[in-house]
Each structure stands twice: as C-alpha cells, then as structure tokens.
Amino acid sequence: MSSIKKIALVVLSLIVVLVLVLAGAIKKIESNMEALRTLPLEQIDIGSIENGTCTGSFSSFPVAAEVQVTVEGQAIREIELVKHNHGVSIK
C-alpha cells in the first residue's frame, strides 16, 4: 500500500471517529435539554425563609447557572445572576 493511501486511510478513520464523537455529544446535549424542559420545580414557602441572601446553583451539561436571592420581609427583593453558562441552542 502506498504512503498516500495509508495517509488517506488514517485521515478518513479520524474523520469517522470525529463524526461519531460529535454525534454522541449532540445526542447527550439534546437529552439533557429535554430533561431541563421537563424538570419539576419545587414550591418554596417564602414565609419560612429568614431575611438575607441565599445562593443556589444548577448544572446539567451544557447549562450551568448560579444565583443569589435576597429575601426581606418574607418577599424576594432581588435575584442576581452570578454565573450563567449555556451551550448552543439545538432545535
């Protein structure tokens, strides 16, 4: 086998592996995004939370977020988005 054919075979093999890896990653992202869309949200009794600032975070590849919530007088006064990473939108 000539060296050009060997190089072409290696390049083709690398392309096939890359395509398979990307397909797997896209499938994982789509699965996580669907799980996020159907994620049940917990109801919180705001009256039971003392005044102050609470930090919360959530992560599910490719999305991650961190917030700080300020509570005063049994009401949310401020929500600050501290960190937000997101992937490319897949539709």
| 61: its two tokens | 């590849």
> Which pLDDT band, with edges at 50, 70 and 90, does 89 fall under?
low
Per-domain residue ranges of the chain? 1-40, 43-91
Task: Compute the radius of gyration of the chain from its Cα atoms.
Answer: 23
User: Residue 91: what pLDDT?
Assistant: 52
> Which pLDDT band, with edges at 50, 70 and 90, does 85 fall under?
confident
Position 17: which residue type?
Answer: V
> Which pLDDT band, with edges at 50, 70 and 90, does 45 fall under?
confident
Provide CB contacts within 8 A for 71, sequence distance 6+.
Answer: 46, 49, 50, 51, 52, 53, 54, 77
Asked if residue 90 has pLDDT above 70, the reply is no
Where do runs of H (alpha helix) occur along the chain?
Answer: 3-37
